Amino acid sequence: MVVSVLAAGCASMMATAGSGLAGNLNTAILNQDDPALVRDGAPAYLLMLDSFVEGAPENVAALSAAAQLYSAYGVVFVNNPVRARKLTKRGQSYGQRALCAAEKRVCGIWNLNYDEFISQLDLLDDKHLEALYTFGLSWIAYIQAHSDEWSALARLPQAQATLTRIQEINPRYQQANIEHYLAVLDTIRPPALGGDFENGLAHYERAMSLSGGYDLSIMVDFAKYYARTLYDRELHDQLLLEVLAADPVQPGYTLFNTLAQAEAQALLDSADDYF
């Protein structure tokens, strides 16, 4: 799985959890250019979100905010695998609770086989989008942190179908982010193992266009998962050099653009050994 795809997911998290303070803190985090400061300070915010959920256990916005930040923090800032698994499991639990709070008829959908899962997704519509989006993001984070467990990886098609269902319900909802996620999911595996690189290329191109070039993590993933897998050195270096030349300071993207540039430099530094 991929770190920056969840970073982008966190960047999209603007739920206020019933509090202007939470919304302001989200904005401050996303516009921070010092990732170490966020890494050290975010746990206090996680506890605050826990308190919001305690006070409103059926509130979809509160559950969604907690799910997305726990998930993003677990995969972006935590290097200890045991702790990452614990945090993303909590994030997934909040995401599942958000979906249950939004539509009780689909509560437990994550335990169904693929065909039954798809059938249950059809019960969801526009009013469920926030919860469904959160559910999908937190599931992807959980799979990433538990990538050494076959039982987690086996559910990847359901997570992908969740994002596809969001597009079916409302193609404009979180357009750039969902195109980005689908691009990574299509290219995280080589073609021989089920990757769909033609479809992935289309998703990457749409994601970059829809983001207006502000989300640098899309180009990093394009280089890392598409260009590297196909051994396209020219495309790989072109994308990463564009990332490094870009201004990372963009409203709502600064933190994760800073992380994307660090990853871009690391990928370039290792390119001679890879290609």
Asked if pLDDT for residue 213 goes beyond 70, the answer is: yes
Q: Where a domain ends, among 117, 148, 173? A: 173
- Whole-model pTM? 0.88
Condensed to tens digits (0 to 9), the pLDDT of residues 247-271 reads: 999 988 999 899 999 999 999 999 9
CA 3, CA 187: separation in Å to the nearest integer?
Answer: 14
Asked if pLDDT for residue 147 goes beyond 90, the answer is: no
What does the radius of gyration of the chain's CA atoms come to, in whole angstroms?
A: 18
**What's the pLDDT at 20?**
52
- Strand ranges in the chain using DSSP code E only, listed in sequence order: none
Q: Do 263 and 157 share a structural domain? A: no
Condensed to tens digits (0 to 9), the pLDDT of residues 219-243 reads: 999 999 999 999 999 999 999 999 9
CA 9, CA 185: separation in Å to the nearest integer?
Answer: 14
CATH number at residue 157: 1.25.40.920
Lowest mean pLDDT among 4-18, 51-65, 66-80, 259-273: 4-18
What band does 12 get if pLDDT is binned at 50, 70 and 90? Answer: very low
Q: Do 211 and 105 share a structural domain? A: no
Residue-range definition of the domain harbouring residue 44: 1-173
Q: What is the 3-state secondary structure (H, E, C) of 52-105?
A: HHHHCCCCHHHHHHHHHHHHHHHHHCCCCHHHHHHHHHHHHHHHHHHHHHHCHH
The domain total for the chain is 2
Half-sphere exposure of 69 (CA within 13 A, CB side): 30
Distance (Å) of CA 174 to CA 53, 101, 121, 167, 217: 24, 21, 18, 9, 15
Burial of residue 247 (CB within 10 Å: 0-12, 13-18, 19+) is exposed
CA 54, CA 196: separation in Å to the nearest integer?
Answer: 42
What band does 5 get if pLDDT is binned at 50, 70 and 90? Answer: very low
Q: Do 228 and 100 share a structural domain? A: no
Q: Do 118 and 1 share a structural domain? A: yes
How confident is the prediction for the chain on average, in pLDDT?
Answer: 88
Q: Do 201 and 161 share a structural domain? A: no
Average pLDDT (125-138) is 95
Q: Where a domain ends, among 118, 139, 173? A: 173
Condensed to tens digits (0 to 9), the pLDDT of residues 30-39 reads: 788 898 988 8
